[in-house]
Amino acid sequence: MKDTLIFIPGTLCTDELWCQQERQLQEQYPIVHADIKRDTSLIAMAHRILEETSGSLSVAGLSMGGMVALELVRLAPERVARLALLGTNPYPPTPVQRDHFSRLEKRVKNGEFLSILKKELIPKMLYRYEKDLVNVTLRMAEETGEIPYLHQLEALQTRHDQLPILKTIQCPTLIMTGENDLVCPPSLHEEMHRIISQSSYVKVRNCGHLIPMEQPQVVLDALEVWLKEETRL
């Protein structure tokens, strides 16, 4: 039986983030989309995934989803057969980032959710600032909603240093970064690639933070190779 493929979205993203990869892979692999809307910590999000699935997992996470994926490795390495980290950051938040998250929380509670999305977040997440991509990104964020976004901001503020987890990873690991990612730049991924012994590294050209949407075929091709790698489980 094939491992379950777990797709974990990033902040303010939904299942739609992975729809183009799912369309091609769903005939070959059982697929589960992780829920990261209800919990206020990465650990709780990871526990929810473990409780709602069984058996060995091939885990792909973008951005905060990658952070949750790393928590899965920490909590249950025996369950993680493969790991794919896209556009993510293993470091804890800096004081500047914590202050930024705190100010975002206050502004969302003050009714500025849509303004933040349109004027600040979406321009940072997309390199290809095209109408269709902007519309999908806005739709995902609106579907996520204000309260889950506040939960996610809390999880980002309280996350711990995940660099020690990287050194323990023994499964095939795919690391992907957008060449033009302003949120989690390529340098972070180059460092992860150096630390994780069984990792492959792909830098995607003409791409920002939302890699599965901006360059769906490149991501699909990389995932197909990754999913065929032999594992120890």
For residue range 159-172, list pLDDT tens digits in order: 999 999 999 999 99
pLDDT less than 50: residues of the chain: none
Burial of 189 (0-12, 13-18, 19+ CB in 10 A): buried
Are the C-beta atoms of residues 166 and 192 closer than 8 Å to each other? yes
- Characterize the bridge pairing of strands 4-8 and 80-86: unpaired
What is the pTM for the complete model shown? Answer: 0.97
Q: What pLDDT is stored for residue 203 in this prediction?
A: 98
Tens-digit pLDDT profile for residues 178-230 = 999 999 999 999 999 999 999 999 999 999 999 999 999 999 999 999 999 98
* Distance separating alpha carbons of residues 205 and 192, to the nearest angstrom: 19
Are the C-beta atoms of residues 193 and 167 closer than 8 Å to each other? no
Q: What pLDDT is stored for residue 126 in this prediction?
A: 96
Nearest one of 118, 150, 119, 120 to 135, comparing CA atoms: 118
Q: What pLDDT is stored for residue 2 in this prediction?
A: 82
Longest dimension (CA), the chain: 50
Q: What amino acid occupies position 69?
A: A
Three-state secondary-structure class, residue 225: helix
Residues whose CB is less than 8 angstroms from the CB of residue 26 and which lie 6 or more positions away in sequence, other chains included: none
Measured in degrees and rounded to the nearest 5, phi and psi for residue 211 equal -55, -45
Q: What pLDDT is stored for residue 1 in this prediction?
A: 64
Residue carrying the six token digits 């379950």: 4
